[in-house]
Amino acid sequence: MVLTRFPDDFEARMALLQEAHSLQKTPLYDRHVALGGKMVDFAGWLMPVYYTGIIAEHLWTRKSCGVFDVSHLGEIQVKGPGALDFLQYRLTNDLNKINDGQILYNLLCDEGGFALDDVLAYRSGAEDFYLIVNAANIGRDYEALSRYAPASVSLVDRSDSTACVAIQGPRSEGILERLFGFRLEGLRYYHFGKETLAGRPVWISRSGYTGEDGFEIFSEPAAVGQIWDKLIGEGRSLGTLPAGLGARNTLRLEAGNALYGSDMDRATTPLEAGLGWAVSFDKGRFVGRDGLLKQKEHGPRRRLVGFKMLDKPIAREGYPIFKAGRKIGVVTSGSYGPSAGYNIGLGFVEAQSAVRGTGIEIEVHGRSVRAEIAKLPFVPSQHKK
């Protein structure tokens, strides 16, 4: 989110509603509108930013269970003999670290080692993977993958035939077991299983973006309405509430999760973004390795850090960061942290200043506001190991 002049914002919003037909809608669109969801353009999709309020939905997710429509996410299936070797070469992390039924976080880099996207690789088998990619990048990712894919490996964009609902928060496991009869105790973090719901196949993974324990259910678009209705209908008395992308954003920010498109773009390397743990230099050759190795040897010149505001205003995307009056970086994400109770953000600063506790100043609405480089995450993760 950026500094928005109210009238412009309003006009933009009106124009948006008039052009709504040109934006994509998930299969749950009508349900969001019926629930009073405030619909906004997110990466070309009309998505609910909130239903009742961002703070309420954020706090409810930390305390109980928030249900999010994330059907805008892209899914690219990578299938055929050589799929594993191809992805080992095309992605940054080492897929031999995981077994079938597991998920691994990866970067998709260009030849220079710059991030084209961050993707989750779901390993169904050595010859069958699903990559979950950011909505805005589906086409570009597909291109970047296909350029290197051998003839034996087929790439299929399943984004239009896959819907996804995220169920996040401490009560998620109990609620899903109760509503759908799943047995989830044995499903570990970043593992997934194949189930049947109302006669239709679904995948359920223990995963999410909020820092809470939680799950994501992938289904056919035709089946997601029924799943959603049960989650927020019957589920309500068990502790669910629908939550929008606004809460998803504040939750991920408190959890210290970078968002591609805000905190990373194709001018960012994974090492700068603090994602070196998802780059395996030991696994052999991969696209972008040379550039990344060189950067690793010298150390990146800038680093993504978390910061805590020491005064009231919120530092938002694009605001400059200073240290003792000298510009050292820029804010990439900023918000009030509803669970943290103060204003937080992520930003790039020169590497020598990327030290926890360092006092910085951020220019907000023309004045200098004190902040401090902070430990990530802002709110401890509650993932079940």
Partner 1 sequence: MSDSTGLRYLETHEWVRLEGKIATVGISDHAQKEISDVVFVELPKPDRTVKQKESVLVIESVKAAFDIYAPMSGKVIRVNETLKTKPDLVNRSPYGEGWLFQVECSDLKEAEALMDESRYKSLGHAAGH
**Residues near partner 1 (CB under 8 A):** 1-7, 9-10, 13, 38, 49-50, 53-55, 246, 250, 312-314, 316, 335-336, 338, 343, 365
Asked whether the CA dihedral 162, 269, 332, 63 is positive or negative, the reply is positive
Report the nearest approach of partner 1 to the CB of residue 314 (Å).
5
Structure token pair of residue 346: 């992520």
The CA distance from 309 to 86, in Å, is 44
Between 4 and 226, CB nearer to partner 1? 4
What separation, in Å, do the N-terminal and C-terminal C-alpha atoms of the chain show? 33
CB of 371 to partner 1, least distance (A): 14
Residue placing its CB nearer to partner 1 in the complex, 123 or 316: 316
CB of 335 to partner 1, least distance (A): 6
DSSP string, 191-215: BEEEEEETTEEEEEES--SSSSSEE
State the nearest-atom distance from the C-beta of 373 to partner 1, in Å.
21
Cβ closer to partner 1: 12 or 238? Answer: 12
Nearer to partner 1, 6 or 277 (CB): 6
The residue to which tokens 């905190």 are assigned? 263
Cβ nearer to partner 1, comparing 170 with 313: 313
What are the structure tokens assigned to 16, written together?
């948006």
Instruction: Tell me whether residue 102 or residue 250 sits nearer to partner 1 (CB atom).
Output: 250
Residue among 162 and 250 whose Cβ is closer to partner 1: 250
* Residues near 7 by beta carbon (within 8 Å), at least 6 away in sequence: none
Residue 40 or 231 having the CB closest to partner 1? 40
222 exposed, middle or buried (CB, 10 Å; 0-12, 13-18, 19+)? exposed
The tokens describing 164, both together, are 């996804």
Burial-class residue 56 by CB neighbours within 10 Å (0-12, 13-18, 19+).
middle
Q: Output 53 or 82, the one with its CB closest to partner 1.
A: 53
- Distance (Å) of CA 52 to CA 76, 119, 274: 33, 30, 34
> How does DSSP classify residue 164?
E
CB of 251 to partner 1, least distance (A): 12
Tell me which residue of 182, 190, 189, 171 sits closest to 227, measured CA to CA.
182
Distances (CA, A) of 38 to 30, 104, 140, 206, 230: 12, 33, 29, 28, 22
Least distance (Å) from partner 1 to the CB of residue 53? Answer: 5
Beta strand pairing call for 367-374 and 302-309: antiparallel
Length in residues, the chain: 385
Nearer to partner 1, 104 or 321 (CB): 321
Separation of alpha carbons 317 and 82, rounded Å: 41
